[in-house]
Amino acid sequence: MTKHLDYIQNTINRMANNSFLIKGWTITFISLLFILAVRESNIWLLALSLLPLFCFWGLDAYYLKQEKLFRELYDLVRAGKINEPFTMNVKKYVNKKKVMNWFLILFSTTIAPIYVTIILLNILIQLLIINGVI
């Protein structure tokens, strides 16, 4: 059972690491588009930056959901409620009602503030470009 818990914990760590990397790539990529948009005074680059932003946001929510599913699987294995050795099948054993759906995770307190802040910054920069301040 200890090895099984180790496998699940490693998967949880990978999901958390993926989420962290996505946040880093989001900030790097969107910052690059912001810099280019401000340098060129191009509002369309800012509008274009929303597409990858929403893609990164959705992917981040997906990894957070997977992490939560594997945490539930970990608890079930730890409690001895799963007899199948080394299973990683969260769909078969985890109660979906315990884990929020993907759409609700999009607006969870762990990821929504980052992406909403970037969207608000995008809107602010667009307004500054439109009004000729930048």
Closest alpha carbon to 26 in 75, 80, 73, 63: 63
Output b/e per residue, 38-54; b: 16+ Cβ within 10 A.
eeeeeeebbeebeeebe
pLDDT in tens, 97-125: 777 888 999 999 989 999 999 999 988 98
| The pLDDT value given to residue 32 | 92
pLDDT band at 20 (very low <50, low <70, confident <90, very high): very high
pTM strictly above 0.95: no
pLDDT band at 91 (very low <50, low <70, confident <90, very high): confident
Position 94, amino acid:
V
